[in-house]
A and B are shown apart, each in its own frame.
Chain A
């Protein structure tokens, strides 16, 4: 019998994946201080502007979504 694919069942592999992810983030952050950039707006060339905006966007989205869900959530048979 073929062995089952269970790449992400072990804790160790999941940890490794997270570390790879963090390293990738660091690689994205550091060179951004040195690369000259040309955007349409001045803030596009601030170092790591997009990283901050991305993180902020995620927090904001989840926060607003939690509030919205509290308002619009109903039981699954609401319309029946």
Chain B
């Protein structure tokens, strides 16, 4: 029975029936879809399922192995949590969110590139609706930019797939490696979704504009499905090590002074994906295990952080550091959940980030990558600053903003509670997660060296933060925007528009002047008066010969103009002219 229903289609088709239900039954139905899918993914044996023949190719919706399964499980799990968090949303929100989640599952289990591309584009389009659902002018504009960027990425991917099919004749999803134009095109398409710089700004541009619950969905699927595809197609690509390392560092700079807390989390998302891509680039079994486990833990704690900030936004309508503060008084549970997420992302021992991130760092050490190791240590300390300290501090503590609100609705609290449980559970007891990983795990995160090192790194970083904050040297929060590379297409786009406006509309105007007013006007005037003038020109010497005075000449020429305007020639004259023309043609022949 299980083999009859691919996970992606369970979501996509299941979501179409949502409007058929109401009230409590609708809520149960919404939660049942991801739970049942989770069961399917968890229990199905490895293998290839759900193949269809299409134009001499085999489309495969179910390539189940250990790598795709671990991503599939966490996607289904987070869908359940996010649906629970979003249960009060309208039908349309749930439909687009579930098709989006289902498309991510479709990408994960795709056995061929065509299926992968299909779900890739579905993901781009359905996620746009979650941003549009923010229902603000800023959200509408951001969604427009978001979908354009993603369609560009999709086209790169499609071009890469087409060239690859032409070169190799196969569409199978598997190791590609960076070699040749097709692989670079595919790499670029995937890198755009993974928010690899310089293709990253869509993420920090669009995610903070979505609905409070929409961002929870968004934070999980697009980037992590791209990480999965990278791990599947480009493991061991050295370029990814350096791109990943750069990705871990530069977003934390922006996160230091960013004012919108959901944008801070978006930057931190880019930073975390950097760790995963670094792991893909290193490409050893330990590193790929690290990438998969870090994706698993990251999806949970990042969703938890976005849920806590979503709750703050939902209850207060505010999300900027400058507007918030002192919320621990009225939202203590949300505050605790947020701090669990913060501790997890900062990789404090006993929280989930610790057991997964340290695998990637160990892989870098194992490979003797000194510079990368230092960069990643710096970045993991930097995570503590923006996600671990800044987000909880400015939202829940800092100065008292005077806002008095309540805890969010029960379903939101339960969703955050479940996620917090997983964050702590996996941190304390990582074996269940390690058993799911693509390769056999021979790794012990809790060694004295590790725990002491990590605690010292984090605590003394926190000391630095405290000292700088108390001394007033820490950059103060202020209402401002900070230029990122999206400047190029936001301002560049305007410039391009103006350039096109000037050049093409200029050409248009020139042509109008030349042909419509110039040549066309001349032709019009000629056809109106030209023949009359020619006739007057022809008759004038005869009138002079007959000795007409000026008055008589004017009268006659006016009569000729009138004749032409009315086309009222005497029949005899017309006949004579026509006969003359025939005679002329005959003579010339």
Chain A interface (Cβ < 8 Å from any Cβ of B)? 4-9, 18, 21, 24-25, 28-29, 31-32, 35, 37-41, 44-45, 48-55, 57-62, 64-66, 68-69, 72-76, 78-79
Contacts and interface: CB of A to CB of B under 8 A. Distances in A.
B457 interface: yes
B366 A50 contact: no
Contacts of B473: 62
A50 B329 contact: no
Contacts of B462: 21
Residue picked from A7, A44, A54, A69, most chain B C-beta under 10 Å: A54
B452 to A, nearest CB: 6
B344 to A, nearest CB: 18
Given A24-B459, A73-B480, A75-B481, A38 B385 contact: no
Given A21-B466, A25-B463, A40-B366, 6 more contacts: A41-B365, A54-B464, A58-B385, A58-B460, A61-B378, A73-B483
B481 A74 contact: yes
A12 B296 CA distance: 41
10 contacts: A39-B449, A50-B457, A54-B463, A55-B464, A61-B253, A62-B474, A72-B484, A73-B257, A74-B481, A74-B482
Contacts, number: 145
Interface in B467-511: 468, 473-475, 479-484, 490-491
Nearest to A73: B480
A54 B459 contact: yes
A79 B490 CA distance: 8
B301 interface: no
Contacts of B253: 61, 64-65, 68
A66 B475 contact: yes
Contact of A76 (B368, B460, B481): B481
B481 A50 contact: no
B329 A6 contact: yes
A45 to B, nearest CB: 7
Contacts of B460: 25, 28, 50-52, 54-55, 58
A25 B456 CA distance: 8
B427 interface: no
B547 interface: no
B362 A40 contact: yes
A57 B480 contact: no
Contacts of A49: 453
Nearest to B455: A28
Contact of B453 (A44, A57, A62): A44
Given A72-B483, A72-B484, A75-B480, A58 B455 contact: no
A69 B400 contact: no
B252 interface: yes
Interface of A is mostly: helix
B397 interface: yes
Interface of B: 252-254, 256-257, 328-330, 332, 362, 365-366, 368, 370, 373, 377-378, 381-382, 385, 397, 400, 447-449, 452-466, 468, 473-475, 479-484, 490-491
Nearest to A52: B460
Given A40-B368, A53-B457, A74 B480 contact: yes
A74 B256 contact: no
Most buried by B among A65, A68, A75: A65
B400 A9 contact: yes
A58 B449 contact: no
A30 to B, nearest CB: 11
Given A25-B460, A28-B459, A79-B490, A50 B257 contact: no
Nearest to B361: A40
A60 B252 CA distance: 12
Contact of B449 (A31, A44, A51, A78): A44
List of 6 A-B pairs having minimum Cβ-Cβ separation, nearest first: A58-B464, A40-B365, A54-B460, A65-B256, A50-B456, A37-B449
Which residue, A18, A24, A48, A53, has most C-beta atoms of chain B within 10 A? A53
A35 B373 CA distance: 22
A62 B479 contact: no
B390 to A, nearest CB: 11
B385 A61 contact: yes
A52 to B, nearest CB: 7
A32 to B, nearest CB: 6
Contacts of A28: 452, 455-456, 459-460
A51 B457 contact: yes
A21 B481 CA distance: 34
B455 A39 contact: no
A72 B449 contact: no
Contact of A57 (B461, B466, B482): B461
Given A50-B452, A50-B454, A72 B482 contact: yes
Contacts of A6: 329
Given A53-B377, A62-B468, A79 B448 contact: no
Contacts of A45: 449
Nearest to A39: B449
A46 B90 CA distance: 57
Contacts of A60: 378
A51 B464 contact: no
A65 B365 CA distance: 28
Given A8-B328, A28-B452, A69 B385 contact: no
Contacts of B458: 54
A3 B572 CA distance: 114
A45 B449 CA distance: 8
A37 B452 CA distance: 9
A25 B455 CA distance: 9
Contacts of A8: 328, 397
A5 to B, nearest CB: 5
Best-buried of B460, B461, B466, B474 by chain A (most CB within 10 Å)? B460
